[in-house]
A and B are shown apart, each in its own frame.
Chain A
């Protein structure tokens, strides 16, 4: 059997997906380090070693994400916009609007019925509403970013975080902490703050059902719930949402092989 590899090197994490020629996800893995760190090398080595594969077993490697230009073994690279669209369309062909909250940017992508991108919008040059905002807040609260979802589920009320600027919101959260506001209520407020910011962006691209979230932040149930409330619509979250970019990269690698006649589906 032969394989292709898609890697999504983000600003805070690196994700990898290996696919077979018959479009099955063979393996997937993530490491919590992004571009400019050991992350890309680590995720590459990890996915190979965990699955007893060698570089030679990979017919093609396609890389996406902010670190896409600096991965030595890549055969090609594509933007994360196209890769997320491709990946989510594979996971659920009914999706017409994708919202991806990445470490340093947020994307809202509209697809047509064939899965082609109609339009996309991305955040302004500002960390508000990004994964980095959540990381910073988790750090202040001394919890893990991955815990923000479950903590917000235990909230009794949602504290309003009025600042969207990461630096000002940090001061605001510290101030709330010193007023003995419950941690869970604060976390719910933080998730709500992200959701409000992202909803504005999503409205810019125009919402069409079905709406899906991709990327690691989609695993935060608090953000998904708040965003769903802001958009007044259900949001589809696939269990592999975090791998959507890497999956899309693998699918593009496969398409490129097919174009060359090297892969038969």
Chain B
């Protein structure tokens, strides 16, 4: 190790982030413990009604969240290679799917070398297709490969409407209720409707508090490095219905309010010059490089169109409201004009000077609208945009030189715009 590296002080983690890490470790430990005891343990899509398993007290872990964590640690390559090679999956499907399907095969083999956070072998799957339609094929493959059942809530796409039509709400509500019955049979337990109401209440407290925290970043200068939102988001994905998330968010809010009071920010001591809205999923394997380069150009990605996907808003006890919320929380379930309307509102609320669009090779759904979406944003929000190629897990797509050139170009346009005002 060089002298410079030795002298470089390690960044101290905020207490709230330590709590997030502890919570994640606990979730995985509990899931592994349940698996070792032969108890049910599920793998779930990211926006499935978690309230059900939380009420049953059955542990869930989330392949998308796990794939993001593994990718951010540059450990996903072996699973992706395994899926593409021995398992014969094509390179053109989602890299989260490749990574997870590869991992699902590896972890059932004896003597595999664990990669943290290590997923236990599931006994069932829960699937909602509200954020992505490819999830259905992914989970079908998992189900067949592992020979385990899927609890599937089919959420409908909203082509022309902001509010799902009554028949769509009824369709999802009936599925949720039917899933509860099926789960009672599968788990051999009665569903506790009183506990369910409590879980719903906690879930609402958590999502409201997270929204409040996100909103704080609309202040100028922002009290948070916007990329922090990607990290804290994991509490909502993994533990939206748990009180431990409430404690984390309370701590985080306290820390952010302290930053506001002290005029400081997790962005660092060098002030932000440009505020940017990030479009698309994070480029997890390159998160560090993205952040370093953004800082080099004094850019803070204060907000993104991703973290609000877990804002599943409904009144506790209102099953129709819950069914509607699970159909609409992810903007992926809406048309391009609707998505871009929401993005425009967000860009204005967060006073963004530009937009940085991640053309995520994995996500066909989010890439579908990238160029037309840019046009809408430029016209409505009157800010410049640029795009770069990348992927949420596959390291072969991203180019550092391309990212920096486009970011620098965007910064130069934002600078000229500011000077012209």
Contacts and interface: CB of A to CB of B under 8 A. Distances in A.
Interface in B342-368: 359
Contacts of B399: 125
Contacts of A119: 378, 384-385, 413
A82 B389 contact: no
Contact of B413 (A66, A105, A117, A121): A117
Contacts of B409: 79, 81-82, 117, 120
Given A78-B412, A82-B412, A122 B420 contact: no
Nearest to B416: A116
A80 B401 CA distance: 12
14 contacts: A66-B401, A66-B405, A79-B405, A79-B409, A79-B412, A81-B405, A82-B413, A116-B420, A117-B412, A117-B413, A119-B384, A122-B387, A122-B405, A124-B389
Most buried by B among A79, A82, A117, A121: A79
A79 B408 contact: yes
A66 to B, nearest CB: 6
A120 B402 contact: no
Contacts of B208: none
Nearest to B405: A79
Contact of A124 (B359, B401, B416): B359
A23 interface: no
Secondary structure of the B contact surface, majority rule: helix
A119 B399 CA distance: 21
A122 B388 CA distance: 9
B106 interface: no
Interface string A113-140: 0101111111011000000000000000
7 tightest CB-CB pairs across the interface, nearest first? A81-B409, A125-B389, A79-B408, A82-B412, A79-B409, A117-B413, A204-B371
Contacts of A125: 389, 397, 399, 402
B406 interface: yes
Interface residues of B, number: 22
Contacts of A82: 409, 412-413
Contacts of A118: 384
A260 to B, nearest CB: 16
B386 interface: yes
A215 B183 CA distance: 64
A125 B398 CA distance: 8
Contacts of A120: 386, 409, 413
B416 A117 contact: yes
A221 B383 CA distance: 36
Contacts of B413: 81-82, 116-117, 119-120
Contacts of B402: 105, 122, 125
A188 to B, nearest CB: 30
Interface string B302-319: 000000000000000000
B412 A81 contact: yes
A122 B403 CA distance: 11
Given A79-B409, A125-B399, 20 more contacts: A79-B412, A81-B413, A82-B412, A82-B413, A116-B417, A116-B420, A117-B384, A117-B412, A117-B416, A119-B378, A119-B385, A120-B409, A121-B371, A121-B386, A122-B387, A122-B402, A124-B389, A125-B397, A125-B402, A204-B371
A78 B384 CA distance: 18
A29 to B, nearest CB: 24
B156 to A, nearest CB: 31
Nearest to B411: A79
A105 B387 CA distance: 13
A82 B387 CA distance: 16
Interface string B367-386: 00001000100100000111
A261 B417 CA distance: 23
B293 to A, nearest CB: 12
Nearest to B361: A125
Contacts of A117: 384, 409, 412-413, 416
Nearest to B402: A125
Contacts of A79: 405, 408-409, 412
Interface string B177-213: 0000000000000000000000000000000000000
Most buried by B among A118, A119, A125: A125
B255 to A, nearest CB: 36
Nearest to A83: B412
Interface in A77-106: 78-82, 105
B334 to A, nearest CB: 23
A9 to B, nearest CB: 12
A121 B408 CA distance: 13
Contacts of A204: 371
A8 to B, nearest CB: 13
Nearest to A69: B404
A80 B389 contact: no
A80 B420 contact: no
Contacts of B386: 120-122
Interface in A45-91: 66, 78-82
A209 B8 CA distance: 53
A4 to B, nearest CB: 18
A231 B76 CA distance: 43
Interface in A185-212: 204, 206
B67 to A, nearest CB: 22
Contacts of A80: 405
B403 to A, nearest CB: 10
B33 to A, nearest CB: 44
A147 B155 CA distance: 58
